[in-house]
Copies of this chain bind each other. A is one copy, B any other.
Amino acid sequence: MSEKKRSLGLPTIRRIPMYYRLLLKLYEEGHSVVSSSFLAEALGLESIVVRKDLANIGIAGKPKIGFDTRESIQTIDTLMNSRDSNEAFLIGVGRLGEALLCYKGFEQLGLHIIAGFDIDPEKIGNRIQGKEVFDVKELPRLAQRMNIQIGVLCVAEEAAQHAADILVEAGIKGIWNFTPSKLNVPSHVVVQREDLAEGLAVLTVKLNQQKQALESPSGNNQHSLI
């Protein structure tokens, strides 16, 4: 009774990596405690946002003292499973796939992409920063043997659904989808779509609004561009 399961909101989840990286840095620098206003200032947020987020994540502070950095890091570790480490396979070793395979930032957050898979004989057998590229045919066997839970999908758009089917068949539970395709997968599989064009759209729309605001004669209630 009463576990209360604070269902975490999406905006809060998205801000977790920011908090995590900063907390880690502060901890390593020897700060055992930090205030919400300090975190807010460093991250460009309001302190009330930080307090609400941390509370929702399950991190409690002490009035007048602040938040224990070590404890906070551990709570996020548990939430994101980053101590156990999430192991992943990457499918589609094109330029983006290669970049993600090597990207350092994920390790810190507990995601270990341990191998790449492709159908191109030119790529199969290569090692990219110590990570081997295998034939896609090997994926199901290896995924099952190593109990891999996460697949990073970086194939061409046309191949997206097919590659997703392979991942699902191989027993993978979560797909990080870098193609713009909608994937059909069983309901027990979690799909996270990553569309770089989203950010691009935000940037260009804001730029155009900024430009129009500057061009237009002043005096109008030309209010806050988003």
Q: Which residues of A contact B (CB under 8 A)?
A: 7-10, 13-18, 21, 42-44, 79-82, 86, 94-96, 98-100, 102-103, 105-106, 109-111, 149-150, 173-174, 176, 180, 182, 188, 190, 192-208, 210-211, 214, 223-226
Contact of A8 among B94, B205, B214 (CB under 8 A): B205
Contact partners of A17 in chain B: CB under 8 A: 180, 195, 197-198, 200-201
Copies in the complex: 2
Is the pair A109, B190 in contact by a Cβ cutoff of 8 Å? no
What distance in Å separates the Cβ of A15 from its nearest Cβ neighbour in chain B? Answer: 8
What distance in Å separates the Cβ of A7 from its nearest Cβ neighbour in chain B? Answer: 6
Main secondary structure of the interface of A (DSSP, over half): helix
A190-B210, A204-B111, A210-B190 as given contacts; A226 in contact with B180, CB under 8 Å: no
Contact of A192 among B182, B203, B223, B225 (CB under 8 A): B203
* Residue of chain B at shortest CB distance from A94: B99
A7-B226, A192-B206 as given contacts; A197 in contact with B13, CB under 8 Å: no
Contact partners of A21 in chain B: CB under 8 A: 180
Contact partners of A180 in chain B: CB under 8 A: 17-18, 21, 105
Is the pair A207, B226 in contact by a Cβ cutoff of 8 Å? no
Is the pair A105, B149 in contact by a Cβ cutoff of 8 Å? no
- Bound complex: CA of A134 vs CA of B195, how far in Å? 28
Is the pair A201, B109 in contact by a Cβ cutoff of 8 Å? yes
